[in-house]
A = this chain, B = another copy of it.
Amino acid sequence: MRPVRYAMVGGGEGAFIGPVHRTAAAIAGNCQLVAGAFSRDPARAARSGEALGLPAERSYPSWSALLDGERDLPADERAEFIAIVTPNHLHAPVAIAALEAGFPVLTDKPLTDTIAAAESFANAADRTGGLVGVTHTYAAYPMVRQARELVAGNRLGAVRRVAVRYTQGWLARAEDAVGKQAEWRLDPARSGLAGAFGDIGTHAFNLVETITGDPITRLSAELRAAVPGRTLDDDGAAMFHLAGGGRGTLIASQVCAGDANGLAISIWCEEAGVHWAQENPNVLRVARRNGPEEIWTPGADRGYLDPPAMRVTRTPSGHPEGYLEAFANIYHDFALAVRGRPPEDRCYASLAEGMRSMRFIAAAHRSSADNARWVELENDA
């Protein structure tokens, strides 16, 4: 298969997630960056394109110019999908325009900044029939794919209890909220209605539903700005119910001093618990009622893994893969889908899954505003 051509919106000089997307696409091996609108600042956009080795004419000064320009190219030259790596509030406008211009869209998470924007996005996808993917990276690790086989595949019995937490410390102090990354994430106009719950809580939420295959139906949440002076939540927790009867707790906080990127999940089923932590991603602990605890690890030579985990493993056992490889799995599968061959166990989140995350943010917000009362997730649209 020849590489799938893509264009990027956002991700210019100094960005965090843009380079991550590009490296992921390079690792995927089936994608090729051919164009970009890397910044609203034309000079910065141009410099970014040049550094990436793009011809000047395909380093566009704006995302609308990019969509126009690419649409006008011959079919075998133009970008085959648009990757969106802007701050949250731009996801929807860019995506809607791209869909209407006929481009599939792969957007960073969360889907958008507001529920209203998300619904416009969804309407555009419905209207155009365009393909949409969302990069909930953590669900794309091999051992998460394996956990999904075990739990959602109902090989360990019904889910009893879930404990998920995503704790970071980078906003632990008021004075930490500096720099490009902190700035837009703490600004409701660009980040949306939720802070930590939007930025990282949605990853935790997505991880629960990915591994269990079971929707969260209701929750009771308490969000807050632990550091005085902030508008958005930087710390919170929730209790939740799964449709299948399981119960869970979720913590999302960016003021947990000392933690880096502490996403960790435990899922206890009737016959076994599975435990995974993102900072040590090549280990899946499976603790059964009887028998020794098991340490599952990736590797193309691991006969005991299921195909969805094997498929996304690049190296022999004992050669650790990491965050960039997980991200690459998303690009790899989205590129296959763009060419009409999505894998059954695709690693990218669907639009519907992106919408679920938005409803999660909204429900948590509503519950928290009303003394942590129980809120139904489905009815929050």
Give me the interface of A with B, judged by CB distance under 8 Å: 1-3, 16, 19-20, 23, 26-27, 29, 32, 51, 53, 156-157, 160-161, 163, 165, 167-170, 172-173, 220, 222, 224, 226, 235, 237, 239, 247-249, 251, 253, 255-262, 266, 268-273, 278-282, 286-297, 299, 301, 303-304, 314-325, 371-374
Contact = CB atoms under 8 A, between A and B. Distances in A.
B272 A258 contact: yes
A372 B371 CA distance: 11
A16 to B, nearest CB: 7
Contacts of A294: 291-295
A19 B313 CA distance: 13
B318 A20 contact: no
Given A280-B280, A295-B293, A163 B160 contact: no
A212 to B, nearest CB: 15
Contacts of A296: 292
Contact of A260 (B226, B316, B372): B316
Contacts of A272: 257-258
Contact of A297 (B1, B262, B293, B325): B293
Contact of A255 (B51, B160, B286, B299): B160
A256 B160 contact: yes
Given A297-B292, A319-B261, A321-B323, A163 B251 contact: yes
Contacts of A281: 320
A133 B220 CA distance: 37
A239 B324 contact: no
Which of A156, A260, A297, A317 has the most B CB atoms < 10 Å from its CB? A260
Nearest to A273: B258
Query: How many copies of this chain?
Result: 4
Contacts of A319: 261, 322-323
B237 A273 contact: no
A249 B248 CA distance: 11
Contacts of A315: 20, 322-324
Nearest to A167: B268
Given A29-B23, A269-B257, A304-B292, A279 B320 contact: yes
A315 B53 CA distance: 22
Nearest to A263: B318
A308 to B, nearest CB: 17
A165 B224 CA distance: 22
A316 B278 CA distance: 13
Contact of A325 (B3, B256, B317, B322): B322
A161 B292 contact: no
What 3 A-B pairs come out closest when comparing CB atoms? A261-B318, A260-B318, A258-B287
27 contacts: A156-B257, A160-B172, A160-B226, A161-B251, A161-B256, A169-B273, A169-B287, A169-B289, A173-B270, A173-B289, A239-B239, A239-B372, A253-B268, A257-B273, A257-B288, A258-B273, A259-B287, A260-B297, A261-B318, A280-B280, A282-B322, A291-B304, A314-B324, A315-B322, A324-B325, A371-B373, A371-B374
Contacts of A239: 220, 222, 237, 239, 249, 372
B172 A289 contact: yes
Given A26-B29, A257-B289, A258-B293, A247 B268 contact: no
Which of A167, A280, A296 has the most B CB atoms < 10 Å from its CB? A167
Contact of A318 (B16, B23, B237, B278): B278
A161 to B, nearest CB: 6
Contacts of A323: 315, 319-321
